[in-house]
Structure 1
Amino acid sequence: MPRVGQVVGERFRVLRVLGQGGMGSVYEAEQLGLGRHVALKVMHPHIASAPGFAERFQREAQVLARLRHPGSVEVYDYGLDAGFLFLAMELVSGETVESLLLREGALPVPRAVGLAVQVLEVLEAAHTLGIIHRDLKPANLFLESHPGGERVKLLDFGLAVLGGELNVRLTQEGMAVGTPGFMSPEQLRGLPLDGRSDLYSLGCVLYELLTGVSPFPVMASAEVAVAHLYKPIPSFREARPELSLSERLEAVVMKALEKLPEARPADAAAMRQDLLAVLAEPWESAPRKRGEGKKMERGLVPHAVPVPSPAVGGAPVAVLSELHPSAAGNTLVMSLAACGFQVKVVSAEDPLQELGALLVVAEGRESLARARALAARPDSPPVLLCGPADDWELVTGALEGGLFDFVPLPLDPNDLTRKVSRAQKLKR
């Protein structure tokens, strides 16, 4: 990587290191001839030579060059020098929203909503140009102090979508497409995206700004992804009972966090107007100590939610006998019975047409193949695979392999009841 004093691209003299990461480093540099100080983002040579990464880096430069807005950083130059891919950008000073949350926890309502409104202004400009950010999270929101007040800068457009063809190509090459804790359901499924996917991500950010915790804290990445796909977002009261936040504000946030894109605000402008209307109302929040929000997240346990009742009179639910009486199979049978289902244990040779759902516990990769074979039978009910939530290959294999659903282990009675009840209704 470049050393302090080295000139990159024949025009940027490195002054000091600002930050380092797995993909590269960011330096403060002086643009020779102009005397302008810039942020110089440089990729590691081994990353720059990997398939797809140079294209991603170039795409970030193209996106920033097209998007001229006070809430996005200005790009000055882009190039390749001695194996180093570099991007020269506007040098900003301040801190990320992630750092702010770690220090202060939940923010006062006017400040939290005001920051979200500023982000929506940037998104409105980006979406008008057909640019979807795809990686909106607190670490990519930068706060600057100005005489007129606090200003948000939206950073890291490296995953932004400029066109559907490019999006598909990079996804097929296995590129990371976001951060699971802030990704929309359609993004997690690899479906085509529009601006409403960014609104979902911003909904996650605003939820955290207001409560001090993320919608699904203390979970493995794969389990968080499954939660965003299937689990309801906990209410503000469930997340932080001691906080007093208006129902109208919660409704705006929860609308952005709807699983289906068509249920969310139509666009960034619509969500911004909803938040401005909330800001115009009187508000109050219970007093709280600084720093008790985000830092508490690692110690939280999932909130209790009333377990939905299973379908009344639903067809029996079966567990595959090859996995019974294993510990996981026993637990699944007992859990289904405790949730109010009529449970049977069957073998693959038994007739399945009278069953409301069939559950298979994943105990090795062959279980996925077995579940897919059962789901393909003409007499099969909806098949659900139960397995570790942190086995992302298993999760995606289940969701993409013709199965009805995936149930993460350890079992959550709410999640189990909801999914099996949906399967029973589908069978009817």
Structure 2
Amino acid sequence: MPRPGQIVGERFRVLRALGQGGMGAVYEAEQLGLGRRVALKVMHPHIARAPGFSERFQREAQVLARLRHPGSVEVYDYGLDTGFLFLAMELVSGETVDSLLMREGALPVPRAVGLAVQVLEVLEAAHALGIIHRDLKPANLFLEPHPGGERVKVLDFGLAALGGELNVRLTQEGMAVGTPGFMSPEQMRGLPLDGRSDLYSLGCVLYELLTGVPPFPVMASAEMAAAHLYKPVPSFREARPDLSLPERLEAVVMRTLEKLPEARPADATALRQELLAVLADPVVAAPKKRGEGKKTERGAGLVRHEVPVPRPVAGGAPVAVLVSKNQEGAGNTLVMSLGACGFRARVPSAEEPLGEFSALLVIADGPGSLAQARALAARPDSPPVLLCGPADDWDLVTGALEGGLFDFVPLPLDPIDLTRKVSRAQKLKR
């Protein structure tokens, strides 16, 4: 993948990494000549090498460039450079809905529904062009300051929309395109998708906006897939007995979360109209007093679902970092990174029992690392095991998620991603 200072496509200078996902990595870059800052999304090489994908990428990028909506990110350019497929897009400022949820938990009904309505307006425009997002989640919804109030920008259309038959084939080959906690059942199965798949994903987002918790608690990817495929979504009362949410609104959200696409609202327009009708209800529109509800939301009394706040467990057991002899430097770096994120961490001695740790991080070092991590995860006394390794090693990523490990932590480290995953592992250990 590109490095800071590298020129991509002869016209974009990479400045810094912004983040990465299952399909590619995003960088802040400068468009040479214009001096414009852009978000440059570069596809992971294993995706870019898929037969026929380069041609489809170019066709779909041209379609995406026609998606002009205030709530979508404008596409400036695309191309292929020394094996890199890239897309240059509008660079936005603000915060993600994911960050908002971490800070505030459940939102008042009018605000939560209002955000969903804004997303649906973007989906209407996208679906009209045949573009399916395929990765709607709080981290891909950006809140941008606006004179008329906050405005939602839907991110990651650039690569998530490049699906169709490609999405089916990648899924069949074990390369799931999307985020398990927000994928529709038909997407889990690798079936052809239409706009109702995006409605399911948005239903997951709206559920979390209203309750502060996702439809299913954080779990291993395979278990999460099984939950979305087969388990009924808990009612609002089951998820948050301390909150009083309108039954009429719950009925709409639950219809978006039906397992069969034909049982959901017909399209984004239909769902938007249903939500606007709910908002027009004076009882629903009345703002909720937050005080006690917020205290309960963050308190220890809520045990049905964990609140997705990426914080270390206060006073919890330390995190263990396992390294080979030639990875001692990387191990020390990881220990320091964990410390900077608020965790107690150390490299354990051979005599220390694993049960005394709240989570176990294994740094990948060669082909035996995955087998070692799986063996550790299979031990009855083992805490949740996370494997750390290069994000572009897809065999390592998929092997970790399919091999009984709790999660995969990509290198180079992203402090927010590291904190979120390790804190969730700690809560599972508790």
Structure-2-length-normalised TM-score: 0.63
**Structure 1 counterpart of 2:290:** 287
Distance in 1 between the 2:53 and 2:298 partners?
33
Deviation at 1:296, TM superposition (A): 7.3
Cα separation, 1, equivalents of 2:197 and 2:21: 26
Confirm or deny: 8 A CA contact 2:169 2:190 kept in the other structure. no
Q: Residue by residue, what CA displacement relative to the aligned partner does 1:257-316 show, whole Å, maximum 9, x if unpaired?
A: 11222221111111101111111122343524797698779984469xxxxxxxxxxxxx
Aligned equivalent of 2:182: 182
Q: 2:107 maps to which residue? A: 107
CA distance in 2, matches of 1:301, 1:260: 26
Deviations 1:113-170 (A, max 9, x none): 111001101111111112221111111111111112111111123232664x444444
3-state SS, counterpart of residue 106 of structure 2: coil
Distance 1:295 1:251, change over 3 A: same
For residues 279 and 135 of structure 1, what CA distance do their matches in structure 2 show? Answer: 26
Distance 1:196 1:31, change over 3 A: same
Please state how far the C-alpha of 1:34 moved relative to its aligned partner.
Answer: 2.2
Does the 8 Å CA contact 1:79/1:87 hold for their aligned counterparts? yes
| Mapping 1:250-399, distance limit 5 Å | 250-282=250-282, 283-288=286-291, 300-301=303-304
Corresponding residue SS for 1:226: helix
Structure 2 counterpart of 1:152: 152
Percent of counterpart pairs with the same letter?
82
The residue matched to 1:142 in structure 2 has which SS?
A: strand
Partner Cα distance (1:90, 1:202) in 2:
23
For the pair shown, which has the larger CA radius of gyration, 1 or 2? 1
Aligned match of 1:117? 117
What corresponds to 2:206 in structure 1? 206
Amino acid at match of 2:125: A
CA contact (8 A) 1:6 1:13 kept: yes
**Counterpart amino acid of 1:33?**
G
In 2, Cα distance between the equivalents of 1:290 and 1:14? 45
Query: Which residue identity is paired with 2:152?
Result: V
Distance 1:391 1:42 in 2: 23
Three-state SS of the structure 2 residue aligned to 1:10 is coil
Who is 1:72 aligned against?
Answer: 72
Equivalence for 1:346? none
Alignment-derived partner of residue 322 in structure 1: none
Whether contact under 8 Å (1:204, 1:215) holds in the other structure is yes
Taking structure 1 as reference, are residues 187 and 8 closer, same or farther at Cα in structure 2, changes over 3 Å only?
Answer: closer
Report the CA distance between 1:194 and its aligned residue.
1.6
Q: Is contact 2:167-2:177 (8 Å) kept?
A: no
1:197 deviates by 1.3
Q: Which runs of 5+ in 2 are unaligned?
A: 307-399, 405-430
User: C-alpha separation between the residues in 2 aligned to 1:49 and 1:37?
Assistant: 28
Post-superposition offset of 1:4 = 3.9
The C-alpha deviation readout for 1:161-184, integer Å capped at 9, x for no partner, is 664x44444444433232221112
State the secondary structure of the residue aligned to 1:275.
helix
CA distance in structure 2 between the aligned counterparts of 1:63 and 1:174, rounded to whole angstroms? 27
AA aligned opposite 2:205:
V
Partner of 2:14, secondary structure, is: strand
The equivalent residue for 1:197 is 197
Contact 1:213 1:293 in 2 (8 A): no
The aligned amino acid for 1:160 is: A
DSSP 3-state at the match of 2:198:
helix
Bigger Cα displacement from structure 2, 285-294 vs 259-268: 285-294
RMSD: 3.3
Label 1:101 to 1:391 Cα distance change in 2 as closer, same or farther (>3 A).
Answer: closer
**CA 1:229/1:94 → structure 2, altered by over 3 Å: closer, same or farther?**
same
Rounded to whole Å, the distance in 2 between the matches of 1:293 and 1:62 is: 48
How far the C-alpha of 1:226 sits from its partner, in A, is 1.4
Q: CA deviation at 1:89?
A: 0.7
User: Which residue of structure 2 lines up, in the alignment, with residue 15 of structure 1?
Assistant: 15
Match of 1:61 in 2: 61
Give the total of aligned pairs.
307
Separation in 2 of the partners of 1:119 and 1:180?
20
List per-residue Cα deviations over 1:313-339 (Å, max 9, x = no partner).
xxxxxxxxxxxxxxxxxxxxxxxxxxx
Distance change >3 Å, CA 104–CA 302, structure 1 → 2: closer
Q: CA deviation at 1:53?
A: 6.9
Q: Give the secondary structure class of the aligned counterpart of 2:229.
A: helix
Aligned counterparts of 2:188 and 2:211: Cα–Cα separation in 1: 24
Deviation at 1:82, TM superposition (A): 3.4
> Is the 8 Å Cα contact of residues 200 and 258 (structure 1) preserved in structure 2?
yes
Contact 1:105 1:292 in 2 (8 A): no
* 8 A contact 1:134–1:161 mirrored in 2: no
Take 1:255 and 1:21, find their aligned partners in 2: how far apart are those partners? 29
Distance 2:10 2:162 in 1: 31
- Decide whether aligned partners of structure 1 residues 128 and 301 sit closer, same or farther in structure 2, where only a CA change above 3 A counts: same
CA contact (8 A) 1:243 1:285 kept: no
Structure-2 separation of matches of 1:251 and 1:295: 26
What is the letter of the counterpart of residue 285 of structure 1?
A: K
Cα distance change on mapping 1:227 and 1:6 into 2, 3 Å: closer
Matched with 2:89 is 89
Change (3 A) 1:95 1:275: same
User: Which letter does structure 2 place at the counterpart of 1:200?
Assistant: Y
Shift in alpha-carbon separation, 1:45–1:284, aligned structure 2, 3 A? closer
Contact 2:43–2:85 at 8 Å: present in 1 too? yes
- Is residue 224 from structure 1 mapped to residue 224 from structure 2 by the alignment? yes
Aligned partners of 1:289 and 1:60: how far apart in 2?
Answer: 49
Distance 1:259 1:26, change over 3 A: closer
Please give the alpha-carbon distance, in whole angstroms, between the structure 2 residues aligned to 1:60 and 1:295.
43
Task: Kindly provide the amino acid, as one letter, of the partner of residue 107 in structure 1.
Answer: L
- 8 Å CA contact 2:133, 2:198 repeated in 1: yes
